[in-house]
Amino acid sequence: MAFMDEVKTAVTPRAALLVFGTLALQLLFIASYVGALHHPEPTDVKVAVVAPGGTADRAAAQLRRLPGGPLSPRVLPDEAAARRQLLDRDVDAALIVDPRGSTDTLLVASGQGTAETSALLNVFGQVEQQQQRALRPVDVAPASPRDADGLSSFYLVVGWCVGGYLCAAILAVSAGARPANRARALIRLATTALYAIAGGLLGAVITGPVLDALPGSVWALWGLGALTVFAVGAATLAFQTLFGVVGIGVAILVVVIGGNPSAGGAFPLPLLPDFWRAIGPALPVGAATWTARSIAYFRGSAVTGPLLVLSAWALGGILVSMAAVGLRGGRRGAAEPPAPRHAAAP
């Protein structure tokens, strides 16, 4: 057999298309991670300003005019309101101005990511230095000493998401990407749900009691983990039902290439470019990362929206899988000729 015949036998057109698709995913992976994370800088970070009289309005106006628009300030009546909004995740920092002295206080929350805290300290430090004033930082929601750079929540979520789409991919590899009927689709979804319950619990236990890397309720993290794993797994099953084995690549495109850089993990959302900041909260990794940090450091505040996002991915995965299997079964049944009728035996 000639060499080219060997090549044609070894590399089928379908395999060649999958290889080119893999190359495209590789290049998108590089472009997304480098594009999102190569130059983090704060943009429109929500900050509060507290000061007596008209001092607060003047300080907020000055912060609003900073070159590049790093801050989006709002005036609050007192420090208690600023602390409350910081713990509710309505603002990312609060400047408490003391007009009677030469030192102002900056309330921060490193639990939302030390990269953002460092960026805010740098911005406010330069502003205070220009006014020949000192800055005293106070961390009202500090990251755990064992949670390096506040990344444990992100890595936990990444592990959950990897488990979700790998579980769905294994089901496809073992028994075909597209389930044969609705019963098979339901079995795959049920298997994914059981896997999600186990994966959510074990991830929460490893990150919390075993490694002491992330504080917060293990029960709450377990629930979040189960929902996250199932949401990603159900979405992957839906992609596979629609696109066959290519659906695994679509899941990687959504969860890994789109989701990880925009999740606010390595760099919180206010430090990301506009595109990644916009899509991150709508994807499973971003929604779960925000929720995990809220559980760990912010008393579970501001999690309704992210939990709805995860629930939408889970429900959407179920509905799309079942609908696609039903439509495909209907088309196949319509295309088959009716079975011949046999004459009754005499």
The answer to whether 94 and 76 are in contact (CB under 8 A) is yes
- Residue 73 burial (C-beta neighbours within 10 Å; 0-12, 13-18, 19+): buried
Query: In the chain, how long is the greatest CA-to-CA distance?
Result: 112
Mean pLDDT of 183-187: 88
Mean pLDDT of 12-20: 79
More confident residue, 318 or 149: 318
Q: What is the pLDDT of residue 340?
A: 47
Mean pLDDT of 55-70: 93
Measure the CA–CA gap between 110 and 104, rounded to whole angstroms: 19
Measure the CA–CA gap between 89 and 81, rounded to whole angstroms: 12
Q: What is the pLDDT of residue 124?
A: 95
Mean pLDDT of 178-183: 76
Q: pLDDT over 90 for what percent of the chain? A: 74
Q: What is the pLDDT of residue 326?
A: 80
Single-letter code of the amino acid located at 195: Y
Find where tokens 């989701």 sit: 259
Residue 259's pLDDT band (cuts 50, 70, 90) = very high
Mean pLDDT of 129-146: 93
Least confident of 172-181, 296-305, 317-326: 172-181
Mean pLDDT of 170-188: 80
Q: What is the pLDDT of residue 333?
A: 45
Residue 124's contacts (CB-CB under 8 Å, 6 or more residues apart) are 93, 95, 106, 135
Residue 35's pLDDT band (cuts 50, 70, 90) = very high
Partners of 105 in the beta sheet?
96, 136
Residue 95's pLDDT band (cuts 50, 70, 90) = very high
Q: What is the pLDDT of residue 100?
A: 87
pLDDT above 70 (res 123): yes
How much is the mean pLDDT over the chain?
89
Structure token digits, residue 299: 């008393």
pLDDT above 80 (res 318): yes
Residue 150's pLDDT band (cuts 50, 70, 90) = confident
- The enclosing H or E element of 49 equals strand 45-50
